[in-house]
Amino acid sequence: MRLLALGVCALALISGSSNAQQVSGAESKGPTLQSAAVGFHLNESSVNASTKVTAAPCCRHQGQDVAMMAFGVGAMIVGALVGDTAGTIIIIAGAGVALFGLYHYLE
């Protein structure tokens, strides 16, 4: 067992001293603004005003719809905690509000 542990330590030391993962050249250290960007990069000088696409106002009231769904689910939880007839009424009303919000969200 000791021989196995010494072998693993030796392999770790050998791989650390081989400089296999070192980057050649004098690059700057630390994060850069260029490396923080994700996705495809397009040179802004090759894009003129006619090729830029404007976003359509498709998602006007998305925040309200999500809030209605969250409120409906919350009301369903409260109705389950209340119990009996009043809880059933609160659950049904919460489900209605959540479904109404989901309908408008998917519309």
Residue 25 has pLDDT above 70, yes or no: no
Contacts 24+ apart (CB under 8 A), 13-22: none
Residue 105 has pLDDT above 70, yes or no: yes
pLDDT digits (tens, 9 = 90+) for 48-87: 656 555 555 555 667 899 999 999 999 999 999 998 999 9
* 39 belongs to a structural domain: no
Q: Distance of CA 44 to CAs 33, 37, 58, Å?
A: 16, 15, 26
What value does the mean pLDDT take over residues 14-32? 62
Q: To which residue do tokens 């969200």 refer? A: 105
* 69 belongs to a structural domain: yes
The total of structural domains in the chain comes to 1
For CA atoms 31, 32, 36, 39, the dihedral sign is negative
What is the band of 29 on the pLDDT scale with cuts at 50, 70, 90? Answer: confident
* 9 belongs to a structural domain: no
What is the band of 32 on the pLDDT scale with cuts at 50, 70, 90? Answer: confident
Tell me, what DSSP letter sits at residue 46? Answer: G
